[in-house]
Amino acid sequence: MSAQVNQDKRYVMAIDLRRCVGCQTCTAACKNANATPPGVQWRRVLDIETGEFPDVQRTFMPVGCMHCANPPCMHVCPTTATKLRADGLVTIDYDICIGCANCVMACPYDARSIQHIAKYAYGVPMKSEEARFEPERLGVATKCTFCKDRIDLAAKTGQTPGVDPEVTPACVNSCISDAMHFGDIKDPNSNVSKLLAKTEHFRMHEELGTDPSIYYILDGEEA
Amino acid sequence: MNEARILDRTVPRQQQEWDIKGALNFILGGAGSGLLVAAPFAAMLRADPRPFVALGLVLVAGGLFSVWLKIGRPWRAFHVVRRPSTSWMTREALIAPFLFAAGALGVFSGAPLFILVAALLGALYAYAQARILKANIGISAWRRWSCVALIVVTAVVEGVGIVAFASPFWPSLAPLGFLLAALIVARYIAWTNYIADLRRTGAPKGTLQAFDVFAPRFLILGHAAAAVFALIGAIGHYPAALALGGAFAAVGGALFKYTLVCRAAFTQGFSLPRTPARGRGKPGPGLRPGWEPPQAN
């Protein structure tokens, strides 16, 4: 099964695992940008410790929705709430989703969550939480959007996602070690195309045929 | 490689979204659709198929009602029919009204044609349920054809098992014990093939542990005891034995689906082909924590 979308652009993320220091700033930036409730993290950083003393190693791996070009979540979605845009973003229409969780099971990246009741950091809502509460997100699937409002803004302003911070996902903007990069992989001159051309990288669970849009860099030239 | 010390959600974890209410769609829906498939066999043995068709419809409806209670936005439930092109959940929902219509016509008219059409739609419904699971590739235990085969054959075993359970009311159903025993053997083959498939291709440790705990009960009560009682009932014309065999077979199937959905369904987790070289360090070996590696043939 493959997605039949004619893509003129495809926004992807390239994450240099050599540079990520596991500071979780991207996680915090995502929560701030998207007002996700406690327990819901659209961007998180895995902390993997391997080896045996004294030869131990830690690897930090930011994960989230991979915005697959062949998204299993979209294929199983019975309502058409999950869609693949022409620019490669996988979106959820909260007004159509019924919260069946079929997509949660279909996603091999553990990227989706459903919150059935409102949750607040301290039990009762703070003013900031009240102000940013979005009732349409209750009882439906939610996930990383690649900050699609910013991507959409680029179409109006002519700015370049991944280059201009106003139209770049919050997590990429926030990265303190320049590990995260964002751009259009269909453009051979984009920052990510150039970076991926000179590095060794992999994509998570490619063997499942999802064609994910997050590339993890392991070796090669630095950005 | 030393087992990695894993933090956060790197390892596969048990899915939490589909609880018993979600599982009941497969437990009741599978048994109900299997009962629709089994009803014509009851008719061939001079039993009235209509109570079985009626019960089958009630079970399917119960499964759908249960999952309706589970979804986040129940009042939008009819949106479920919007993606027939790829979603097996949509296809399941589209089969259901035809299944209820054919079944209801069969119950009220008694016409064999409607009973047969309901049986065919029951088979399709069970298949659609199996494909719902297979399409969910985030769950290793579900995304395989061996799981589809096991779900479908389990549905038929449950249906025939429930008909066999009614044999004290229709002693003419005694020969059904042979069919039930044969189907139990088929389910055993499907089960062993499924478990072998999991071990051959590799699976989350939690999945294999859940099935390791479940397997002895499933094999002894759901297969061995069920088949023995079914054959005793068929050969000796003991309706009580046949009923017992049917009950074991049906309950075993229900417990299997509960285990499959609620206990053995682990997420994919994350893996690395190798660890990156950080600073002056060297790259390390790859890892796939929480997984039982594929077994060599």
**Rg of chain A's alpha carbons, rounded to an integer?**
18
CATH number at residue A94: 3.30.70.20
Q: Nearest-CA residue of chain B relative to A112?
A: B17
Nearest to A17 among B10, B90, B276 (CB): B276
- Picking from B6, B83, B201 by the largest number of A CB atoms within 10 A of its own CB, the best residue to mutate is B83
Nearest to B73 among A44, A45, A99 (CB): A99
**Rg of chain B's alpha carbons, rounded to an integer?**
21
- Predicted-complex ipTM score: 0.94
Q: Is the pLDDT of residue A217 over 80?
A: yes
Nearest to A57 among B15, B265, B281 (CB): B281
Q: Which of residues 37-66 of B touch A (CB under 8 A)?
A: none
Contact call for residues A10 and A203 (beta carbons, < 8 A): no
Q: How many domains does chain A have?
A: 1
Domain membership flag for residue A1:
no
| Banded model confidence at residue B276, pLDDT cuts 50, 70, 90 | very high
Q: Nearest-CA residue of chain B relative to A140?
A: B72
Query: pLDDT tens, B70-94?
Result: 999 999 999 999 999 999 999 999 9
Chain B nearest CA to A188, separation (Å) = 26
Chain A nearest CA to B296, separation (Å) = 19
Domain membership flag for residue A6:
no
Query: pLDDT tens, B177-212?
Result: 999 999 999 999 999 999 999 999 999 999 999 999
- The mean of the pLDDT values for chain B is 95
Greater confidence, A222 or A219? A219
Homologous superfamily of domain range B20-71+78-269: Formate dehydrogenase/DMSO reductase domain (1.20.1630.10)
Domain membership flag for residue A24:
yes
What is the phi/psi pair of residue B277, to 5°?
-80, 120
Domain membership flag for residue A2:
no
Query: pLDDT tens, B243-269?
Result: 999 999 999 999 999 999 999 999 999
- Picking from B272, B280, B282, B288 by the largest number of A CB atoms within 10 A of its own CB, the best residue to mutate is B272
- B109-131 b/e with 16+ CB inside 10 Å = b? eeeeebbbbbbebbbbbbbbbbb
Q: What pLDDT is attached to residue A50? A: 86
Residue A212: asked if its preceding bond is cis (omega within 30°), the reply is no
Q: What pLDDT is attached to residue A223? A: 72
Contact call for residues B222 and B248 (beta carbons, < 8 A): yes
Q: How many A/B residue pairs have CB atoms within 8 Å?
A: 176
Q: What pLDDT is attached to residue A1? A: 58
Nearest to A78 among B93, B137, B273 (CB): B93
B-chain CB neighbours of A80 within 8 Å are: 79, 82-83
Hey, are the CB atoms on B83 and A219 less than 8 Å from each other?
no
Q: Over pLDDT 90: what percentage of chain B?
A: 92
C-alpha A75/C-alpha A191 separation (Å) is 31
pLDDT average, residue stretch B149-160: 98
**Secondary structure element (H or E) that encloses residue A11, with its range:** strand A11-16
Q: What pLDDT is attached to residue B9? A: 78
Domain membership flag for residue A4:
no
Structural domain range at position A46: 11-220
- A148-167 b/e with 16+ CB inside 10 Å = b? bebbeebeeeebbbbeeeeb
Domain membership flag for residue A153:
yes
Contact call for residues B90 and B73 (beta carbons, < 8 A): no
Domain membership flag for residue A147:
yes
